[in-house]
């Protein structure tokens, strides 16, 4: 009789042995400023089970505690949150043999994106700094002069603005450009801007152009000056007075 009672106690303990460990929250960046994005809920399963045998337990995800308790309306991945920014997901761990279950929960969080505001192009005349004022290259672009426009009122202590030669570099946050910057392509070159939230790591990119114009500087010769004077006099026959506006 004692053996039977002991066996029943052991069986009872095993029947209720399932544990639903509380996983860390799932946090992603928004992708279009609506507070919604797609989550892989099943990526939490290993944390929920811990060291428990995954073949013995069924892990399901639900929008409400009622759904978790009744094992209805199971969510599947990729799952787009139905409540913007922050939503609680309920997790049910069910023993596949006894049907006993335990419930836990975690939050799915969508962090907002910073705004990489559109900025004007930087347009300059070619110069002789590199020995040639017609080759389309300038050595002293000030990329950081665009930062205030990129932020446009966003807190500069909360965001990092960086400049890159390509979208790939901007998205991977590599090969950051510094000023003074010499354009690597003649006449027209795209610069990609990345603005990163230092708290969340979320970022956005944008771009603008560096434009180098060929601005010929025609020197004033004696002949040019005399032509200008003659033109002025012919248009001011009364008083013969010429000014800069003439």
Label residue 10 by pLDDT band (50, 70, 90): very low
Q: Are 216 and 133 in contact (CB under 8 A)?
A: no
**13 phi and psi angles, rounded to 5 deg:** -65, -40
Helix (H) and strand (E) counts in the chain = 6, 10
Q: Are 100 and 18 in contact (CB under 8 A)?
A: yes
Could you read off the pLDDT of 39-56 as tens digits, one per residue? 999 999 999 999 999 999
pLDDT at 87: 98
Label residue 7 by pLDDT band (50, 70, 90): very low
Residue 5 has pLDDT above 50, yes or no: no
- CA-CA distance, 95 to 64, in Å (whole number)? 20
pLDDT at 3: 47
Any idea which residue has 């025609």 for tokens? 218
User: Pick the residue with more confidence: 145 or 130?
Assistant: 145
By C-alpha distance, which of 184, 172, 205, 202 is closest to 141?
Answer: 184
Q: What is the DSSP secondary structure assignment for residue 141, as one 8-state letter?
A: B
What does the pLDDT average to over 132-147? 93
pLDDT at 17: 73
pLDDT at 221: 57
What does the pLDDT average to over 215-242? 58
Q: What is the DSSP secondary structure assignment for residue 95, as one 8-state letter?
A: E
Label residue 105 by pLDDT band (50, 70, 90): very high
Give strand pairing partners of 205: 194
Could you read off the pLDDT of 158-192 as tens digits, one per residue? 999 999 999 999 999 999 999 999 999 999 999 99
Residue 1 has pLDDT above 60, yes or no: no
Residue 64 has pLDDT above 90, yes or no: yes
Residues ≥6 apart with Cβ < 8 Å to 99: none
pLDDT at 36: 97
- CA-CA distance, 113 to 98, in Å (whole number)? 46
What does the pLDDT average to over 126-154? 92
What does the pLDDT average to over 18-41? 96
User: Pick the residue with more confidence: 125 or 237?
Assistant: 125
CA angle, corner 58, sides to 54 and 63, nearest 5? 130
Residue 71 has pLDDT above 90, yes or no: yes
């Amino acid at each position: 009789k004692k053996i039977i009672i002991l066996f029943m106690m052991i069986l009872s303990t095993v029947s209720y042995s399932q544990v639903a460990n509380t996983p860390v929250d799932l946090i992603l960046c928004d992708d279009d400023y609506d507070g919604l994005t797609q989550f892989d809920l099943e990526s939490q399963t290993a944390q929920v089970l811990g060291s428990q045998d995954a073949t013995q337990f069924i892990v399901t995800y639900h929008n409400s505690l009622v759904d978790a308790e009744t094992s209805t309306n199971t969510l599947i991945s990729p799952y787009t949150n139905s409540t913007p920014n922050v939503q609680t997901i309920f997790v049910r761990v069910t023993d596949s043999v006894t049907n006993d279950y335990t419930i836990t929960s975690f939050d799915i969080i969508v962090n907002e994106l910073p705004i990489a505001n559109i900025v004007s192009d930087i347009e300059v005349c070619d110069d002789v700094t590199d020995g040639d004022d017609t080759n389309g290259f300038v050595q002293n672009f000030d990329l950081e002069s665009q930062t205030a426009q990129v932020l446009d009122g966003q807190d500069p202590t909360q965001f990092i603005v960086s400049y890159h030669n390509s979208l790939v570099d901007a998205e991977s946050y590599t090969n950051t450009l510094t000023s003074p910057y010499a354009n690597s392509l003649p006449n027209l070159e795209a610069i990609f801007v990345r603005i990163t939230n230092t708290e969340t790591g979320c970022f956005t990119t944008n771009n603008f152009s560096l434009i180098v114009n060929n601005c010929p500087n025609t020197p004033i010769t004696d002949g040019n000056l005399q032509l200008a004077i003659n033109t002025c006099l012919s248009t001011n026959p009364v008083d013969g007075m010429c000014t800069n506006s003439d």
